[in-house]
Structure 1
């Protein structure tokens, strides 16, 4: 059996997973899984490739609100490089407050300023510099600082 840690996954896999969870959350009260088997995933991928230049939605998306369906289409794009990422999600109409800002606007500063901090939230404070520096992974091997993002650049264990 192949070592499960030998395969590297990028952020696009996380956005796909977010799309699956998002679908389950908005399909309430029935709470329906979008992909309940490998065959269901392959059916979606084949449908996408057959309909890439046609208008219309995957059948499971047709009964959803058009804005939510648009977000799902971006998150569940089978072509990983074309899949929505952080900027597309935070700027998407689904998360718009209607005043030109996003639900994500100021998320980092709000997290840092919380009076009560849950133990399960990652620490945004660098103990050495006593600052909150937020990072986002870009294409393999590159990182950049992004304002208002709840993510700290992961530290590589010294054993690697």
Structure 2
């Protein structure tokens, strides 16, 4: 079955069954390996992408449920103002250790700052609660999100 989906602003046609998870379409069909497979049950957040700006778990999102929505992946997040600020803050705070979860972390963080440009610690905890970091860099993740939020405020 054929589907045309908007990935990072580009229409992409894929020939897969409708119940194929978006994660496998991205990785196996389109060769976009920045989005990671973690648990396959939407519990770890490694597969997080954005659907119309909201963080979703691509491992449980079927291709037929995407419709005409815009999908943004880690490959394009740096082209957005918020994404670029988050990526810089991630580097400034040396967030990544093994790095496996980081694409999902960044996708969730950028969705948070889009919706709440000045998040509280509670907002950050809520938005990031579905993203697991086996290396335990949660304190650095929170500080990086705060830094990215501050850089948004400074630019006005």
Higher relative contact order (CA 8 A, sep 6+): 2
Q: TM-score range by the shorter chain?
A: under 0.3
**TM-score after normalising by structure 1:** 0.27
Rg larger for: 1
More strand by share: 2
